[in-house]
Amino acid sequence: MTYLNWSRFYKGLRYLGQPRKVLGRMTGPKVLLVSVPKSGTHLLLHTLALFPTLRNKGSILGAQEIDILNRISEIKPGQIVRIHERRTDEIDVLLESRNILALFIIRDPRDVCVSRMHYIMRECEHPKHDYYKSLSNNFERLNATITGYEGEYLDDRNIWVGSIDFYFRILLNWIGQPRTLTIKFEDLVGFKGGGDSQAQKKTIMKIARHLRVKLPSENLTYIADNAFSINSATFRRGQIGSWRDELKLEHILKFKEVAGQLLIDLGYESNLDW
């Protein structure tokens, strides 16, 4: 055999040791993972990949609309594909006609701001890295993340220059759709991320019911115990409420002005008195 054939042979052996993954290729759900960036994409993806019949098949990021639609239409049984795209009528048609089920994960926008700022500063190839680096300190960078910005560092590729409110609301039309289950990062992360183990298990079971996957108790326990993982290039802390350590009073006042209603709409606050 050639090297390539040997590679395929051993890959086949590995799958023989995972009969449920093989079964997933025939009977598993087709899953579209949708998220506001920095809202727990990796957490949800890693959780889903622990399901007996599911496997990660990559992302659709920065593609043209026709390419996005084509890639969604190609999702096969047992595959998880992730996007950060607004729901459209064309996507709705594909979900219905191809029997694809969507999961939409959101996170406290204040934590998203903090996570996004650190991520952009860490990633030198990020299209907004130069702009963030040009700012004097993290105080200014957090302000820019909350309020949005514009300037010489932005070009046609940079679609997000708006506020954190805009950043979220362009994707919120996924909420309430019949083929979409919306979950919160805070309910899925478990005690390792500052959450609650019972809420985590309930959320995993909600996901299983939505995807029409039977999940025995031993599988549920295994998934909950292993969902929180630091093995991601985008991972930093993965904790609930980290905004309290970094947002100053000026940031909080600005956030209430720019996106206070967003927090209320998403159920993270009941009013602006926080």
99 and 54 in a common domain: yes
Residue ranges making up the domain that contains 121 = 110-168+238-265
Q: Please give the model's pTM, rounded to 2 decimal places.
A: 0.85
Whether residues 124 and 202 fall in one domain:
no
Residues 154 and 63 in one domain: no
Read off the pLDDT band of 186 (50, 70, 90).
Answer: very high
Confidence of residue 8 (pLDDT cuts 50, 70, 90): low
Residues 140 and 116 in one domain: yes
In a domain, 117, yes or no: yes
Least confident span in 15-29, 60-74, 169-183, 255-269? 15-29
Q: What is the pLDDT of residue 239?
A: 80
Other CB atoms closer than 10 Å to residue 61's CB: what's the count? 11
For the segment 49-99, what is each residue's pLDDT rounded down to a tens digit?
Answer: 999 889 999 888 767 888 999 999 999 999 999 999 999 999 999 999 999
Structural domains of the chain, count: 2
Pair 22, 152 in one domain: no
Residue 232 domain-assigned (yes or no): no
Residue 271 lies in a domain: no
Looking at the structure, tell me whether residues 22 and 135 fall in a common domain.
no
| Three-state helix/strand/coil letters over the chain | CCHHHHHHHHHHHHHHCCHHHHHHHHHCCEEEEEECCCCCHHHHHHHHHCCCCCEEEEEECCCCHHHHHHHHHCCCCCEEEEECCCCCHHHHHHHHHCCEEEEEEECCHHHHHHHHHHHHHHCCCCCCHHHHHHCCCHHHHHHHHHHCCCCCCCCCCCCCCCCHHHHHHCCHHHCCCCCEEEEEHHHHCCHHHCCCHHHHHHHHHHHHHHHCCCCCHHHHHHHHHHCCCCCCCCCCCCCCCCHHHHCCHHHHHHHHHHHHHHHHHCCCCCCCCC
Residue 13 pLDDT exceeds 50: no
Extract long-range pairs of 17-20: CB within 8 Å, 24+ residues apart.
20/52, 20/53
Spacing of C-alpha 221 from chain mean position: 22
User: Burial level of 23, CB count in 10 A (0-12/13-18/19+)?
Assistant: middle
Residues 180 and 161 in one domain: no
| Same domain? 149 vs 44 | no
Q: Specify if 233 maps to a domain.
A: no
Q: Indicate whether 89 and 59 sit together in one domain.
A: yes
Residues 80 and 118 in one domain: no
Please indicate, yes or no, if residue 256 is contained in any of the structural domains: yes
The token pair that represents 68 in the structure block: 């996005």
CATH number at residue 9: 3.40.50.300
The answer to whether residue 99 is domain-embedded is yes
C-alpha 262/C-alpha 269 separation (Å) is: 9
Cβ atoms of 36 and 174 within 8 Å: the answer is no
| Mean pLDDT of the region 120-128 | 88
Q: Could you tell me which residues come within 8 angstroms of residue 162 by beta carbon, excluding any fewer than 6 positions away?
A: 148
> Is residue 274, in this structure, part of any structural domain at all?
no
83 and 35 belong to one structural domain: yes
Distance from C-alpha of 197 to C-alpha of 200, rounded to nearest angstrom? 5
Strands 30-35 and 79-83: parallel
Domain contains 94: yes
Q: Are residues 162 and 42 in the same domain?
A: no
Whether 21 contacts 15, CB under 8 Å = yes
